[in-house]
Each structure stands twice: as structure tokens, then as C-alpha cells.
Amino acid sequence: MKKQGQLADFLQARRAQLRPDDVGLRTYGERRRVPGLRREELALLAGISAPYYTRLEQGQSHNASPEVLDALAGALRLDEPERAHLHALARAPRGARTTVRPRAERITEATRALLAALGSTPAIVLDRRTDVLAWNRQGHALFAGHLDPSSPDDPGRRPNMARLVFLDAHTRELYTDRPAKARAVVGHLRLTAGRCPDDRKLAALLGELTMRSQEFAAMWADHRIVACDTADYEMHHPLVGTLTVTQQTLQSPQGDGPAMVVATATPGSPSATALTLLAHAVAPQEPAGARHDAHPRSAS
């Protein structure tokens, strides 16, 4: 993945998604060979020359100023996450450099302690590629109870949430509106690819998903960014039935390192009751005969 190639693809895809009517252009009923705005129309809306925009879209210009990028973002009707993504793609490396591989993300002891402290609140820890680095008992039960609970501890068996959402039958049936969840996953991977263009493992994951899932390939080609740090999802869980949870993604202020995804339900709601039932269902069983009276009777 190269940033300039990603920038060209992003601009072309988003231009194709705009119609003249969307931006107030009159076409007088003319028939167009391809959908979307023409390059010269988008350049006019952004206030830049058509040849310059063409070079940007063809990956031939590497020095777009922040002002030009903001003008293009406005012309393309981008929201704030998409605008930030455009700037990230256009940010040229300073001087010659060798490829820098992103360092591996590891879970800290403090994060493990936080997972344990959350108790019956489902939580999982994901790296930037959505590999599961850890989960608590309830997080495993809610999101992937059909998998080995110890699998995140082994890099060779570590689950990947993007693979699960697109390729795993259990996870596909877990979400009522699975396309919404799928778009959120693709949006996250799109942002990650923009920030980490030299991540070979990420590139391999994207290639695998593109080859194995037509749905992923279509969403990836769409170039839409869905930023959903907080989202509500209705789930059909095999143990406790239908429930609605709010999934919140918590990350460090610097935006680096693993992220924790926590699932909660409205207090007092049927969904909160379902989470409580799930916690009881997966609680470790006390061995038979382990209970003793606190004050055993003395023999008479």
C-alpha cells in the first residue's frame, strides 16, 4: 500500500459518488458516459486548476497544501473523519527514507488488570489490524464464544475481528444489521491503511479479505470512511437471545497502541438482564464439595 496510490483511488472513488445535482451543477439533461462529476467540475468547485487536480488524482503530484486539501474536502462533501483521512493520505514523507515497519502492539499488564476489573462487562482488546490481543470472560462469551478462550494468547491462533465479521458463520449471524457492523470494520481498516501504509501484515489481511469476500471487496472499493467510536448494535446471541449493546472503543489520547472495545447495555433494560444472564452462564463452576459451612458444628 502506497499513500499516493491510496490518495488517487480515494479521490477518484469519491468523485464518482457525487452527482451534479448533489453540488448544484446544471447538466441540462446531457447523457454522461460515466457516473459522478467530471474532473474539471470538481476542480472548479474546489477552486483549483483542472490539470493540477488531474495530476493529484493520477498520483503525479505529491505536494498538495492543507488549503488545497480542505478545498477538495469541501467540494467532495467529506465529513470530519473523511477530511482527516484525506490529509493523512496526502501527507508526503519528508525526504528519502527507508520503509519503516510499524511495531507490533502488545497488551500491557495495566490493560490486563483493567480487563479483570471490568468483571461482568464484556471487553476485548484489539490491535490496529483488529487482531484480538486479549478479552475477559464476558467479552469472549459475547463476541466469540465458539472460539477457544485462550486463542488470543497464541499469535498463531489469534482471532481477527475483521475476518470473523466477513468470513465466520457464527459472527455473521450475531448481528441483526450485519452490513452496518461490516461497514464500521471496513472504515476502521481504511483509516488504519492511511496511517500505516507500510504495514505488510495489514496489506496481507486486506488482500485476503478482498479475495475471499465479495462484500468486503465492494465496501473497500467504495472508499467511504465510517468512524464509529460508539455504536449501538442489536445482537442475536445463542445463549441469551436478542439484546442491544453499545460498543465503545477506548484508546490512548495519542491514538497509538491497542484499543479496548467495551459493550454495555442500558441499566434496567432487558438487554442488561441478558448480559447478566450471560455472565452467570459463563461463570466458572465451583467444584462439587467445595462449599463448607463457615462455622462447622462440633461433634457432640
Q: pLDDT, tens digit, for every residue of 27-56?
A: 655 666 667 888 888 888 888 888 888 888
Q: Please give the pLDDT value at position 289.
A: 57
More confident residue, 8 or 92: 8
Q: Please give the pLDDT value at position 33.
A: 67
CB 59 within 8 A of CB 8: yes
Say if residue 141's pLDDT is above 90: yes
Alpha helix (H) residue ranges in the chain: 3-16, 39-46, 50-57, 66-75, 80-90, 109-117, 137-144, 161-167, 169-174, 178-195, 200-212, 214-222, 270-282
Q: pLDDT, tens digit, for every residue of 180-208?
A: 999 999 999 998 888 888 889 999 999 99
11: domain CATH number is 1.10.260.40
Q: Does residue 293 fall inside a structural domain?
A: no
198 phi and psi angles, rounded to 5 deg: -100, 15
% of residues, the chain, pLDDT over 90: 44
Of the candidates 152, 142, 172, the residue with the CA atom closest to the CA atom of residue 245: 142
Q: Please give the pLDDT value at position 171.
A: 95
Say if residue 297's pLDDT is above 60: no
Q: Please give the pLDDT value at position 299.
A: 46
* Statement to judge: residues 238 and 181 lie in one domain: yes
150: domain CATH number is 3.30.450.180
What's the CA gap between 21 and 36, in Å, rounded? 10
Look up residue 234 and give its DSSP letter: E
Edge-to-edge strands of the sheet including 132-135? 132-135, 123-126, 259-264, 241-250, 230-237
* Statement to judge: residues 149 and 267 lie in one domain: yes
What's the CA gap between 132 and 169, in Å, rounded? 18
In the numeric block, which cell numbers belong to residue 137?
470472560
Per the rule left: phi > 0, alpha: psi between -120 and 50, beta: everything else, 255 is left
* Statement to judge: residues 53 and 132 lie in one domain: no
* Statement to judge: residues 159 and 113 lie in one domain: yes
Q: Does residue 260 fall inside a structural domain?
A: yes
* Statement to judge: residues 131 and 13 lie in one domain: no
Q: pLDDT, tens digit, for every residue of 105-129?
A: 888 888 899 998 998 899 999 999 9
Say if residue 286's pLDDT is above 80: no
Q: pLDDT, tens digit, for every residue of 78-89?
A: 888 888 888 888
User: What 3-state DSSP class applies to 270?
Assistant: helix
Q: pLDDT, tens digit, for every residue of 160-170?
A: 999 999 999 99
* Statement to judge: residues 42 and 157 lie in one domain: no
More confident residue, 266 or 283: 266
Q: Please give the pLDDT value at position 300.
A: 41
Q: Please give the pLDDT value at position 101.
A: 65
Enclosing domain of residue 68: 3-90
Q: pLDDT, tens digit, for every residue of 251-270?
A: 876 566 799 999 999 999 99
* Statement to judge: residues 277 and 132 lie in one domain: yes
* Statement to judge: residues 168 and 254 lie in one domain: yes
Q: Please give the pLDDT value at position 278.
A: 95
User: What's the number of domains the chain is made of?
Assistant: 2
